Structure 1
Amino acid sequence: MAEAACPEQEPEVLRLKRLRGGGFFPVPPEDRLGRCRSVKEFEKLNRIGEGTYGIVYRARDTQTDEIVALKKVRMDKEKDGIPISSLREITLLLKLRHPNIVELKEVVVGNHLESIFLVMGYCEQDLASLLENMQTPFSEAQVKCIILQVLKGLQYLHENFIIHRDLKVSNLLMTDKGCVKIADFGLARAHGVPLKPMTPKVVTLWYRAPELLLGTTTQTTGIDMWAVGCILAELLAHKPLLPGSSEIHQIDLIVQLLGTPNENIWPGFSKLPLVSQYTLRKQPYNNLKHKFPWLSEAGLRLLNFLFMYDPKKRATAGDCLESSYFKEKPLPCEPELMPTFPHHRNKRAAPASAGAESQGKRSKP
C-alpha cells in the first residue's frame, strides 16, 4: 500500500555545462529531446533490413498513421556523440529532395543519448530481395524503367556535388507504384574542386570501379557510374556481372571481361598506387558482346561507355539519359505499369536459403 501511494519517480535532473561563464544549467524535462519527437510515437511493425550503418524497421507513425522506415543509428563504439558517417547521412539527406532519392522525414530520439532514429519514406521492396525471390526476371522494358530512375536520381546527386559511393541492388528501393529510390547514404560524400583525397575502401566489392581497386585517392562521380554499369548488367543477365571473392579476383574478372588496361586507353594507369602489386593477365579483347549476344548495339554502347577504364572518359548520368538505348524498342515501361510483388522483407522470420546467402555476399563491402 505504501508503494502504491508513492508519487512517480522524478527523472534525474539533466545538467549541461555552460560554454561561457562556467558552471552548469539544468535542462527542463520537456526540453530534453530538443525539437525531436520521441521514438515512442512510432509503433515498430517488423525489421526489414540492415543498412551500412544501422538496422531498419517498418513502423507506423501513431500521430499520422503513416507507414515509414525507421533506421536506428549504430552507436557501437561511440562515446562522444553521433558517428561521423551518420552525421554525414543526416546532413546530406536533409538537403536532398528528389523523387528517386529516399526521403529523410525527420530524426527522432529514444530515452538514451545513444538512441537515435532516422524516419525515412517507406518503400515496399529492395531490388536485391526482389531479384532473389522473383518467379520471372524483369523484362528489358522494366530494366530500362528501373535504370532510368536510378540515373535521374544520380544526375541530381552529382549536380549537387555528392558521390554515393555504395551503389548496389540492395541499396535501390522500389515502391508498389514502381518508383525506384536510391537509399543508404552512410558512405556518401560531398566533393569539391579541387578533389580531396578519400579512402579507396568504399563501394561493395562486386560494384567497385577499377581505379578504387588500384588504390586511387581521388574519387569522382565515375565510381557511381561504374556501379550503374554493374547494376544494369545484373538486371539484364539476371545474375551479378562481376562476383569477385577478393580484390585480386575482382580485378581479374574485370580484365577477363574488358581486356587489360594500359596507358593508351587509361592515361595515368601505370602510376596508380597498387598497380605494381598485381600481375594482370594479358587479355586484348573486350568480351561484353559475348556476354550479352542478344543485346542491341545501343545497349552494348551504353555498357561500354559505363565500363570505360579511364574515369574521365566514363559516361555521366546525363550522358546515359540521352542514350539511344532508352529510345529504341522495347521502350522503357512507365513506373506505374511495373508489376507488384509480395512484400518479402516483411516476413518476420525468413528461412535461411542459398538466396539469402547470395544476397549477403552481394551486400558486403
Structure 2
Amino acid sequence: MQQNQSYTKIKCLFKGYAGKVYLIERRSENDPPNKKHTPLVLKRYYRKPSDPQDHTQLNEYKFLSTLHHPNIISFIDAFTEKFEYKKCLCLTMEYMAPLHELLHSINDKQLYIFKELCQALNYLHNQNILHRDIKPSNIFVTAEGQVKLGDFGISTQMRDFMTPQTCTKNYRAPELFFGLKEYDASIDIWSLGCTLVELFTGKILFDGRSEIEIMSQIAELLGSFNESNWEGVSSLPMYLEFVNEKQPKLPKVLSQLPKNIQPLVDHMLRMNPKERPNIKQVLEHLNEMDIQDCSTQLASIAQNAMSASNKIKFQQVI
C-alpha cells in the first residue's frame, strides 16, 4: 500500500470462508476535508499457514496482474496486512454492481450481457485458462455499463490433472461431481449455460442444497446418467447412476427462453462434455444475432444499485 494513503471502510459487502469483501474509500494525506471519494472494493483473504507469504503469490493476484481485457476486472492495489492477529492478503479494485443483484432489472439486455461475458471467457480459453467459477455473483457491471468477469480465486492454467472439487456446486458440470480430473474448458461452458438460463428466468437452474440433490435435478432435466445417454460415464471415478423415469424437463425450461437461444442452451447443457460447444462456437452463434449495445442502459441500472448499497456509511480505518 502506498504510504500516503489509507482505506476507510464503508460497509461489509460479503463474508465468506476465505475472508471478507468491503466497500471502501481511498484517502490521501493531502485530500481536502470535503473531497468526494470514489468507492472501491477491498477483498481481504485470511491467510492460512499453507498460503503464500505475500500478495504476489496469491492465485487471484497472479491472474489479474497478467490478464488485460475490457471484460475482465483489474485490481488497483495489492498488499499484505495484519488484521485481528492474522496476516491477510488484500486486493483493491473498482466498485461494481454484482450481476446477481440486477437480474430483475435487465429486461431485454440479457443477450448483450451474455455476449460480453463470452468475450471474456474466449480471452481466457485462448490462453488455456479455466475460470472454474462462472456464475452471476462473479459477473459485474461498472458505472459505465461495462460487463466484467471477476473472482479468479480458483482459476487455473489448464493441465493434465486438476481437482474436480471446484466451481460452486449449483453451476458445477456433472463430470466434476463424478470425480473427473482430466477435464477441459467444457466445464466453463456448462456454468455459462446455467448462467444464461438464470439471466432470463431470474432463478438458479439447479438450486439443490447438496451435491446429490443437484445431480438428481440434472437427471430430471436431461435424463438418467447411464451409458446410453453418456458413453463412458460409468468408468468415471465417483460414478453413481441417477435414474429419471419421467420425461426430461429440458423442453419445459427451454420454452421459457427466446427461441433464438434455445438451441444454444440445449448444446451448452449437454450431459456429455464432448458434446458441448467451445466458446468460439458460442460466439459464432451470438454473432449471427442482432444484439444491440445496451451499455448506456446498464450504466444507469448499475449506478442505481451501487447508490442504494452505498447509502449507509460508517467510518472505520482499515
Q: TM-score, normalised by structure 1?
A: 0.74
Give aligned-pair identity as a percent: 29
Contact 2:55 2:78 (C-alpha < 8 Å) held by counterparts: no
1:110 alignment partner, SS class: strand
User: Which residue identity lines up with residue 102 of structure 2 in the other structure?
Assistant: L
Aligned 1:1-365 pairs, distance under 5 A: 36-38=1-3, 41-50=6-15, 53-63=18-28, 65-75=37-47, 77-78=48-49, 81-82=52-53, 87-110=58-81, 114-123=87-96, 125-131=97-103, 134=104, 137-139=105-107, 141-192=108-159, 195-196=160-161, 198-275=162-239, 278-283=240-245, 285-324=247-286, 327-328=288-289, 331-338=291-298, 339-340=300-301, 341-343=304-306, 344-346=308-310, 348=312
- Where relative contact order (Cα < 8 A, 6+ residues apart) is larger, the structure is 2
User: Which residue identity lines up with residue 138 of structure 1 in the other structure?
Assistant: I
Root-mean-square deviation (Å) = 2.8
Cα 1:56–1:295, aligned 2, differ >3 Å: closer, same or farther? closer
**Deviation readout 1:236-282 (Å, 9 max, x if unpaired):** 1121111112111111111111122443553321101121xx34114
**Any stretches of 5+ residues in structure 2 without a counterpart?**
32-36, 314-318
Give the Cα–Cα distance (whole angstroms) in 1 for the partners of residues 76 and 144 of structure 2.
Answer: 20
Q: TM-score, normalised by structure 2?
A: 0.83
Cα 1:262–1:80, aligned 2, differ >3 Å: closer, same or farther? closer
Give the drift of 1:284.
7.1
Give the drift of 1:129.
2.5
List structure 1 segments (4+ residues) > 6 angstroms apart after TM superposition: 83-86
Give the Cα–Cα distance (whole angstroms) in 2 for the partners of residues 211 and 244 of structure 1.
Answer: 17
Cα 1:54–1:45, aligned 2, differ >3 Å: closer, same or farther? same
Give the Cα–Cα distance (whole angstroms) in 2 for the partners of residues 39 and 159 of structure 1.
Answer: 40
Give the Cα–Cα distance (whole angstroms) in 2 for the partners of residues 337 and 261 of structure 1.
Answer: 43
2:196 alignment partner, SS class: helix
Matched residues, number: 300
Cα 1:37–1:138, aligned 2, differ >3 Å: closer, same or farther? same
**Any stretches of 5+ residues in structure 1 without a counterpart?**
1-35, 350-365
Cα 1:50–1:261, aligned 2, differ >3 Å: closer, same or farther? same
